[in-house]
Amino acid sequence: MALSATGEPEVVLRLVGITKRFGTLLANDSVSLTLHAGEVLALLGENGAGKTTLMNILFGHYVADEGTIEAFGRPLPPGSPRAALEAGIGMVHQHFTLADNLSVLDNVTVGTESLWRIRSDRRAARARLLELAQRFGLEVRPDAVVADLSVGERQRVEILKALYRDARILILDEPTAVLTPQESASLFDTLRRLTADGLAVVFISHKMNEVFAASDTVAVLRAGKLVATHATSDTDRTRLAELMVGRAVTPAAPQPLAAGEPVLELSHVTVASDHGRPLLDAVDLAVRRRQVIGIAGVSGNGQTALAELVSGLVHAEAGSVTLKGAPVERADPAAMIRLGVARIPEDRHSAGLVGAMTVWENLIAERYRAPAFSRLGILRRGAARTYARRVIADFDVRCPGPEARTQTLSGGNMQKLILGRTLAHKPDLILASQPTRGLDIGAVSYVHGRLLEARAAGAGVLLISEDLDEILALADSIAVIHRGRLTPLLPNGRASISQLGLLMAGHWDILPEILDAA
């Protein structure tokens, strides 16, 4: 840490008693934080704990109801992102704010030049950009168009954008959500170089690994309150998880089971795209009963197409899909449901549920034509509500009742609703597509537990996830997806995390080495 003249690390940022309400919701409850030069502070908390709200207040997107912020000893005027920028605070949002059609250099310099100058000094700008990039290990091509960059590269551009504006405090909102393990490692390396240079970094996270990999100090938020601040080296995972959730958490662990007969077989399946490269390219895969097959990969490599194929939303252009030994002709969602496929969509808001409709209406959405729920075209609303009450109880959905509008539920409860809708019917195959994305630890362990329970009951589970930790925790075997192609199944544990990371990045030349190791 950089030390001030007195030998104490210089305080660069001081938040005192920050309180923010949205209606009746207390998003931040008198939160006080200090950040020192050269420090990486991890802001840890579940979804909805108030992490992003707090940082948005710091950056001037929101105005706090109470409390003050001081940056470098001077009070920061509330509600002004410009003042925050001028005070040396830079923010890298979870969803990047880059102009896709502009070059890296243009994206970095935009807004920093006076409108009144006819010619901008691009040569100096480029030199400065390259100097920053080199100093902090943020390799970029200044003339590349942002649309052509990978997610990791875009994030580097975002960080450079902040540094170019002389940021001395950098805020990163869930920076690793979209990165491969290697890219994350390189990001943490950059963070170390930044702090060595005297910058201070706040990064928001709900992943424990990153906290230990990258932070000096960890602050835990729960339900808007700051519940603890520790030096990272003084604490451990279990302790932090308890602080985050407020109670002890036991991670789900699969018990060893003998896999049964195959329920889903894909043979040389190709799914075409509208332009060029197919979304799925001659994919072979088999999922057996009492088995979790994990599909690992960086987002956008064909996971969506694979999920849509098994959901019945898209068709294979070539190759064959076999369910429980019988080939599937003309699949559609209704047919897949009839064949015993439980589908958990990757986007529960837009594909899983109709937010404007009630809980009971959503719970019967996949089987409202069954005699249990309708007769001669008339809905049996009483029966449907009774059924809904049972599922709500069985799956611990926290909601006012069957008549509640689904959009008022939290993400975790929406996911429980979808689990209840699909798992209550003893499925043969479960397609779980990003089943815990955006969920907090408590809900994650619930979902994992339910999936493993279904596995023990004889279902095959196809788990598609961008969260490698999730796959390593649940899967019996793992296949890596890259550009629509799938590696052979690797028993969990066969490939190391770094090997999986290389496969995710497309270095399939290491495959023989992994396969031969057996």
Partner 1 sequence: MRLEPRADSPLALQVFAPVGAVVAALALCAALVAWTGAPVLRAYGLLIEGALGSRFALTETLTRATPLILTGLAVAVAFRAKLWNIGAEGQLYMGALAAVVVGGGMLDLPAWLLIPLVLLAGMAAGGVTLLGPAVLKVRFGVDEVVTTLLLNFVVLLLVSMLLEGPLKDPMGMGWPQSAPVIAAAELPKLVARTRLHAGLAIALGLAVLLWLMDTRTIWGYENRAVGANPRAAAFAGMPVTWIMLRTALLSGGLAGLAGAAEVCGLKGYLTLDLSPGFGYSGIVVAMLAQLHPLGVVGAALFIAAVFVGADAMSRAMPVPNYIADVMVATSLLCMLVAGLLTRYRLRRG
Residues found near partner 1 in the complex (CB under 8 A): 22-23, 63, 311-313, 332-337, 343, 345, 350-357, 361, 365-366, 368-369, 374, 377-379, 381, 405, 408
Q: Which is nearer to partner 1, 256 or 377 (CB)?
A: 377
CB of 138 to partner 1, least distance (A): 37
Whole-angstrom distance between the N-terminal and C-terminal Cα of the chain?
46
Smallest Cα–Cα separation from 249: which of 47, 470, 441? Answer: 441
Q: Which is nearer to partner 1, 337 or 480 (CB)?
A: 337
Half-sphere exposure of 296 (CA within 13 A, CB side): 34
The sign of the CA dihedral 101, 105, 108, 109 is negative
CB of 258 to partner 1, least distance (A): 33
DSSP H or E run through 34 = strand 25-36
Helix, strand, coil share of the chain (percent; to 5): 35, 25, 40
CB of 365 to partner 1, least distance (A): 4
Q: Which is nearer to partner 1, 140 or 430 (CB)?
A: 430
CB of 421 to partner 1, least distance (A): 9
DSSP H or E run through 181 = helix 181-196
Encoded tokens for 423: 């798992």
CB atoms within 10 A of CB 206: 21
251-254 contact pairs (CB < 8 A, 24+) = 251/445, 251/448, 251/473, 252/445, 252/448, 252/449, 252/452, 252/473, 252/474, 253/473, 254/292, 254/452, 254/455, 254/474, 254/476
Q: Which is nearer to partner 1, 37 or 306 (CB)?
A: 306
Q: Are 50 and 209 in contact (CB under 8 A)?
A: no
Q: Which is nearer to partner 1, 23 or 276 (CB)?
A: 23
Smallest Cα–Cα separation from 170: which of 254, 287, 87, 66? Answer: 87
CB of 448 to partner 1, least distance (A): 23
Q: Are 76 and 70 in contact (CB under 8 A)?
A: yes
CB of 8 to partner 1, least distance (A): 38
Q: Are 18 and 30 in contact (CB under 8 A)?
A: yes
Q: Are 140 and 109 in contact (CB under 8 A)?
A: no
Ramachandran class of 391: left when φ > 0, alpha when ψ lies in -120 to 50, beta otherwise:
alpha
CB of 302 to partner 1, least distance (A): 19
CB of 368 to partner 1, least distance (A): 6
φ, ψ for residue 474 (rounded to 5)? Answer: -110, -30
CB of 444 to partner 1, least distance (A): 23
Q: Which is nearer to partner 1, 22 or 453 (CB)?
A: 22
CA distance 436 to 450: 12
Q: Which is nearer to partner 1, 62 or 203 (CB)?
A: 62
Burial 80-95 (b: 16+ CB within 10 A, else e): eeebbbebbbbbbbee
CB of 142 to partner 1, least distance (A): 39
Smallest Cα–Cα separation from 15: which of 239, 190, 171, 189? Answer: 171
Q: Which is nearer to partner 1, 238 or 350 (CB)?
A: 350
Smallest Cα–Cα separation from 512: which of 503, 111, 264? Answer: 503
Q: Which is nearer to partner 1, 23 or 325 (CB)?
A: 23
CB of 28 to partner 1, least distance (A): 16
Q: Which is nearer to partner 1, 22 or 493 (CB)?
A: 22
**Three-class SS of residue 420?**
helix
Q: Which is nearer to partner 1, 324 or 381 (CB)?
A: 381
CB of 472 to partner 1, least distance (A): 29
CA distance 212 to 240: 11
CA distance 323 to 65: 57
Q: Which is nearer to partner 1, 174 or 346 (CB)?
A: 346
φ, ψ for residue 149 (rounded to 5)? Answer: -90, 155
CB of 337 to partner 1, least distance (A): 5
Q: Which is nearer to partner 1, 127 or 334 (CB)?
A: 334
Q: Are 282 and 271 in contact (CB under 8 A)?
A: no
**Three-class SS of residue 209?**
helix
